[in-house]
Amino acid sequence: HTWDEDNPKEYQHVARNEPQAHIARVFVIIGIKHYEDEAMRKFKARIVFAGNRVKTAMGDWAVFQEVGSIPSTMTGCRAIIVLFCLIKNARLLQNDCVRAYVQAKMNGPKTYIRLPKAWWPKSWAGKFHDPVCELLQALYGHPQAGDFWAEKLESELISLGFELDEGWKSVYILYPDEVETIGFVVYVDDLVMVGADHLVETIAKLRQSIKMEGPSDMAKYLGCVHHI
């Protein structure tokens, strides 16, 4: 597909066939993760969707719904620690989901991205003026990427029997038998999980559909280091 931000109506395919499609640029950011902890400090780069300049194929500004997903709070984390203290033989674990947003598919109007020229395959040279590629997976920076990811994770948790705890945002509870209670607290792609006999088994089931790192004992969460 080709498109020109300055004169979109002269470019045929997207404007003619999908006038309400969204189009935006992507770019790279690089930063230092865990800067405050020298032992854990590392460079991290990611491709970012330019959510501040999204237009339709006809050149109008794109309009988005308000953000719907609300992550858990530190209060939710403390509540799950209390639950850990009340359960016999309980374990308190945490886990990071790997490249979380791109695990979710894009929804809503079709979205196309304009690639930086340095990223073009050699075969594109001289062939295209301003090519765009359809964005299939949610990408960091898109105004609704967080919602798409939250919806995917929630649907997977519900398929395992979890229920969203009423009154607690992004806190999910599972009763695997008549005795045990399992709790998951979700902050975007960071999970804190508590349970006993069925906890590790439940995490393994979730990892069949959600890419996650291996679970570890509760340590650093939302900028706080927890010593249990």
Three-state secondary structure call for residue 201: helix
Tens digit of each residue's pLDDT (9 = 90 or more) over 19-69: 889 999 999 999 998 788 888 888 988 899 999 889 988 888 888 877 777
> Cβ–Cβ contacts within 10 Å for residue 218, how many?
21
> What sign does the dihedral 65-49-146-74 (CA atoms) show?
negative
Which of 108, 92, 43 is CA-nearest to residue 221?
A: 92
Return the pLDDT at 166: 83
Task: Give the integer Cα–Cα distance in Å for 64 and 30.
Answer: 27
Split at pLDDT 50, 70, 90, the class of 9 is: very low
Return the pLDDT at 19: 83
Q: The pTM is what?
A: 0.83
Tens digit of each residue's pLDDT (9 = 90 or more) over 139-170: 999 999 999 999 999 999 999 999 998 888 89
Non-local (6+) Cβ contacts of 82 within 8 A are: none
User: How far out from the chain centre does Cα 131 lie?
Assistant: 26
